[in-house]
Structure 1
């Protein structure tokens, strides 16, 4: 399996290349620390797989044109989970792994993506592959509708915009916002916005209990 690596942070890149030496069957064909250089590398080497730092993914996707298809992509980031931004799945990435995970876990995911025989993942993730599940953030103690509201708060949407997207009344959105604040132990809209932004970016919520079952809430 041939692999290319990319990161905007050269020190991180050197450390990650050292980790790749522990993964059997990998031939690292090159690496780059800027988006144009990485796209040039992909065009020249046509690797089977790209491992990329999450901070570099969006610049690469912004520059890549129809003639620059990315190979199978595993995103490695500093956050504990992939977050809720609609960035990863629709753009064809295979999975996400936090660099806080053990080296063996990271190596295992790289191996799983590398052993795949598909050129690109199916939309939303391939049915039989366990790797796409690594994108999903841990569960929160919310109803499904509360989760939808919380995610959209993190996307920067206000109550009216959220209500329009979900097809509900603004007052319903406000009710869900208050329920979310109560469950997270928050006392203000500013704290709610900060928590939603952190969750969007893959950071854990100190007040959120991932083991608590979600409540059944009204839509």
Structure 2
């Protein structure tokens, strides 16, 4: 992807913020708009509105929350990459884990930043992806590099890493309490397809029953939300 310099002859680089927390959007917009070479041109709190805003405003960068309410951040990243290949994507996440960083980069994002470090590093991250580079914090980069070294493994390693992105989505929907029918509706898939995913998840995670799957899924979602 060809990068552009912030504030070049096109004027300030345009940024869209996608986050379901108004206070987060407000804080990021206020910070970004203090920079003369950057300007927030739109906001959204879900995937459908995000795609609409991006189509209308044609931003240079989309800042995307990985855990959108009623939406999946990974799916949004993939959709933006296909529909708007010139838009760079910087992901915000609650989790400081290589597990998520690797998945968003594979999905097509150019950067990964935790919400904890967003205030300090988001401007640097935006400018990095605008220039055509890939951004992540030094801490995250060190973790990812550590995974590549012989005999080393991320301390956050989990059996869930064996799951595909879609299987992970199904697991998380199960953990939030959705029934098979409700999960099928959320993902626009058939009930039979969701049941097939559930069986694959149980096999990959070594779970024997639907009850075991539910318990594991609830624990995983709580862990993701920082509750345990």
TM-score, reference length from structure 1: 0.55
User: Aligned in 2, Cα 1:70/1:11: closer, same or farther, shift over 3 Å?
Assistant: farther
Which position in structure 2 is the counterpart of 1:84?
A: 99
In the alignment, which residue of structure 2 is the partner of 1:151? 157
SS at match of 2:20: coil
Per-residue Cα deviation, 1:151-181 (whole angstroms, up to 9, x for no partner): 35133679x859xxxxxxxxxxxxxxxxxxx
Alignment equivalent of 2:121, drawn from 93, 105, 120: 105
Alignment counterpart, residue 48 of structure 2, candidates 36, 41, 45:
36
Q: Can you list the C-alpha shifts for 1:3-29, whole angstroms capped at 9, x where unaligned? A: 111112222211221221233401211
Q: Distance in 1 between matches of 2:161 and 2:97?
A: 14
Indicate conservation of the 8 Å contact 1:82/1:201, yes or no: no
User: Cα distance, 1:30 vs. partner?
Assistant: 0.8
Say whether residues 1:5 and 2:17 are aligned partners. yes
Q: Could you tell me how far apart the structure 2 residues matched to 1:73 and 1:92 are?
A: 8
**Alpha-carbon deviation of 1:2?**
1.1
Structure 1 unaligned spans of 5+: 119-125, 163-192, 206-219
Q: Which has the higher contact order (CA 8 A, sep 6+)?
A: 1
Q: Find the aligned partners of 1:102 and 1:66 in 2 and give their Cα distance.
A: 26
Alignment match, 1:21: 33
Is residue 20–residue 26 contact of structure 1 (8 Å, CA) maintained in 2? Answer: yes
Please tell me whether Structure 1 or Structure 2 has the larger radius of gyration of its CA atoms.
1
Task: Please say which of residues 145-154 and 84-93 is displaced more in the overlay.
Answer: 145-154
Q: Aligned pair in 2 of structure 1 residues 21, 64: CA closer, same or farther (>3 Å)?
A: closer
What is the rounded CA distance, in whole Å, between the counterparts of 1:132 and 1:89 in structure 2?
Answer: 10
The 1:83/1:16 distance shift into structure 2, 3 A limit, reads same
Q: How many residues align?
A: 158
Q: Distance in 1 between matches of 2:120 and 2:16?
A: 19
User: Shift of the alpha carbon at 1:102?
Assistant: 6.4
More helix by share: 2
- CA distance in 2 between counterparts of 1:148 and 1:141 reads 6
1:75–1:97 contact (8 Å) kept in structure 2: yes
For residue 93 of structure 1, the aligned residue among 109, 128, 145 is 109
